[in-house]
C-alpha cells in the first residue's frame, strides 16, 4: 500500500511539474499567450481581441508590450490605480457613461467559445477627466 501511494504521489508530482514547463516552453517559442479550452494556442493579441476581460484578469502583464491597451481597456481611479473596464462597469457604471460613453461591457468571461482559457481562461481613451486632479 505504501508503495502504491508513493508511486501515485511521484506520478502526480511529475504531471504537475510538467505543466509550468510546457507553458514556459510555449511562451518561449510563441511569445505570451495561452491555450483555449480546445488546447489550441493563441497569442496575447488574440486573447486581447477575443477575450479581453479574461486577459486582464489572468495576464495583465501581456499589456507591457501593448501600452495602448491601458488607455482603451480601462482607466485610473482616484488613487491612481488602473482598473479594467469590467471593474468600472461593476463598480461605477454611471461614471463610465459620463467619461467613456463608447465603452461597451465585455462578455468574454461568460461562456465559451472564448470565455475561458484552458487551465485557468473598444474604448476611447481619456477624452474626459475623472473630476479630480492628477498629481
Residue 36 Rama label (left phi>0; alpha psi -120 to 50; beta): beta
What are the cell numbers at 43? 497569442
Give the integer Cα–Cα distance in Å for 69 and 73. 6
- Return the higher-pLDDT residue of 59 and 19: 59
**Residue whose grid cell is 477575443:** 50
Quick one: pLDDT at residue 48?
93
pLDDT by residue (tens digit) across 24-34?
445 556 789 99
Per-residue pLDDT band for 8 (boundaries 50, 70, 90) equals low
| Furthest CA-CA distance within the chain | 68
Give the integer Cα–Cα distance in Å for 115 and 109. 5
pTM of the entire predicted model = 0.55
Give the integer Cα–Cα distance in Å for 95 and 127. 13
Amino acid at each position: 500500500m505504501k508503495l502504491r501511494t508513493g508511486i501515485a504521489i511521484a506520478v502526480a508530482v511529475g504531471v504537475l511539474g510538467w505543466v509550468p514547463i510546457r507553458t514556459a516552453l510555449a511562451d518561449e517559442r510563441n511569445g505570451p499567450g495561452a491555450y483555449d479550452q480546445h488546447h489550441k494556442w493563441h497569442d496575447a493579441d488574440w486573447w486581447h481581441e477575443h477575450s479581453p476581460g479574461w486577459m486582464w484578469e489572468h495576464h495583465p502583464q501581456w499589456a507591457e508590450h501593448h501600452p495602448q491597451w491601458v488607455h482603451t481597456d480601462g482607466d485610473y481611479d482616484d488613487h491612481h490605480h488602473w482598473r479594467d473596464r469590467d471593474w468600472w462597469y461593476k463598480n461605477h457604471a454611471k461614471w463610465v457613461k459620463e467619461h467613456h460613453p463608447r465603452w461597451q461591457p465585455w462578455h468574454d468571461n461568460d461562456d465559451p467559445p472564448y470565455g475561458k482559457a484552458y487551465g485557468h481562461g473598444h474604448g476611447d481613451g481619456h477624452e474626459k477627466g475623472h473630476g479630480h486632479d492628477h498629481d
